[in-house]
Every structure is written in C-alpha cells, then in structure tokens.
Amino acid sequence: MPQSEHGVTLASIYAARKRIAGQVTRTPLIRSVALSERFSAEVFLKLETCQPTGAFKLRGATNMIATLIERHGRDALAAGVTTASTGNHGRAVAYAASRLGVPATICLSTLVPANKVAAIEALGATVKRVGNSQDQAFEEVARLVAEASMTLIPPFDDPLIAAGQGTIGVELLEDQPDLDRVFVGLSGGGLLGGIGAALKGIHSRIQVTGISLSKGAAMWESLQAGHPVEVEEVESLGDSLGGGIGLDNRCTFALVREVMDDHFQVSEAAIAQAMVAMLADEKLLVEGAAAVGLAALEEHAIDIRGQKVALIVSGNGVSLETFDQARAIAQR
C-alpha cells in the first residue's frame, strides 16, 4: 500500500526524532535474563515506562505540537490545544504543551476520579469537567475546536502522532541492529504503525507482531472486515488497548495494514499472569497493555528460540488496586 495513503514515512520519523530530542526521554532497551532463559532467545524490553509521563504517548504529542509551532508559529496555538483522555494521552498532551509553552485544556467527564484530575492539572493543563462519559467530554473538545479556535491533538489517528511513536523503532535498531522480531500492543494503531514504519523502512526483514485484547479489538476486527468498523468496548486489564479506531480513520488503519506481519489476541488471564511476572521477574509494575507481548508469548506458545526479540513495555499507568485484581485473576 503506498505510503501516501497514511502519510507516515521513514523521513517523517527521523524528522520527529530530531524535533522531540531534549523533550522526550530516549528510553532504555534492556535484556531480560529471565525471559531470555525461559524462551531460549535474546529477549529485550523497551522501557517506555521511563518517560516523564510514564508512557510512550509523550512522543507523538510532543511531535505534533512542536510541528504545528514550526509550521504556523506559536501564535497559531495561542488559543491552546485540547483533547479528552483520562490516561496516558491526556497526561502526554498536558506535559508536552507545558514544555513547549502552549496552553492545554484536557476535557474530562465528571466521573473521572479527583486524583486523575489533580495529576493532569499538576502538569500545567486546564481541566474541564463535562458530562458523564468520555463521549460527552469529546463533544466538549469538538466545541472548543469549533468555537474557541483550539487545536485538537488526537490520540493516534494522525501522521504526526504515528511518526512520533515511530521514533521508538529507530531507537530499537540503534541499540540492537539485528533484531528479528518486535511485539507491540495494538489499539488505535499509532504505536504499532509508527514502530512498524520505522523498522520496515530500515530493515524490511524484521517481523512486526501485533497483540490485541481477546474482545473489543477494534483495529483487528477492522482489518478482518477490510474497513474500519465499530466494536463493543469491554472492561479489561489492558484498557489502554480498548476503544474504536474511528469510522473515518485516515491514517492508522492503512498504516497498520501495511506494516504488521502477524497478530495474536490475548485473554484476561494471560494479561494478568504477564503483569504479575513482569513485577516478580523484572521488578516492573506495568499496565496491562504493556504486558501483552509477554502474554502472547506465553498463551500462544510462540516459538522464538534463537531469535533476538523486543517487547514494547508501553506504560506504567496502573493503580495498585488494578494490579491486585490482576494478581487475583492470575492465581485462579
């Protein structure tokens, strides 16, 4: 599929890398002794948990805001940027905007706990509490864009967002040029699409494996259908991998279809067991979406013997309460 259909190129990823340098952490790639021994392979962990906001989302948000400043000047963003997110993306937009000197408004429903509101406000953003659902919060975002001239920073479906996430792929190959395979969580497609575009652009032989939830996997269902479709969102330990991709998806559907080589779906039990193993063996407390690479290896008995493999550990946005739930599931 031509790159023009999604707008993400290796050149745009390298441009993003230069643009976000100094604003975003170049995260470590560590060899896991335990996993390497368990799977008779060289298994590496890419620790996006080391970002200041605890997740990879900071890369894309920083790249998009910085690019808009470059192209249109800071005055074009005088009204501010906006989005609706209770998790990694909202924190990333708040942090990136603050670092780049741009006002940010994050729209949250009234159901969002006070501690999450305070965490986003602590990063310098204005929080607007609107409605009783995420959909109603997004309605307020649309109003701010239309009536207050704010600029939307989307969570995944934009070439600038995907290029920012793609800088992870460049770092992977700088640290381990002879990687054979990379396991990436698949949701809206910005992370997998960006990383895949970087890896394929540098070494096309590298296998890109996507992992989705067993239920509510919008991108995977859309790929099976041949066009974006809606799916019912379900509660999951890997909640960051839930949600739709947008029926009017203009970037990541085409990008993922181009760069992903294979795909696995993982159960709640497998995610829970992987979360517990990451803490026990790697001393890493991670969210469910960050553990799906290990979950897939275990649940599907994927043969990686003799290979060099990287797992993208995408974020640490998990509460102790949720981790306790995972531990209880893993012990059943």
Phi, psi of 85 (to 5 degrees): -165, 135
Where would I find the H helices in 50-183?
57-72, 88-99, 114-121, 134-147, 159-175
Q: How many CB atoms lie within 10 A of CB 1?
A: 10
- DSSP annotation of 72 reads H
Considering only CA atoms, which of 49, 76, 52 is closest in space to residue 65?
A: 76
Residues facing 82 on adjacent strands = 105, 152
- Hey, what are 55's tokens? 């997740």
Q: 70-77, long-range: CB within 8 Å, 24+ apart, which pairs?
A: 70/19, 74/101, 74/102, 76/151, 77/102, 77/103, 77/151
- The residues annotated as belonging to the active site are 57, 314
Q: How many CB atoms lie within 10 A of CB 230?
A: 12
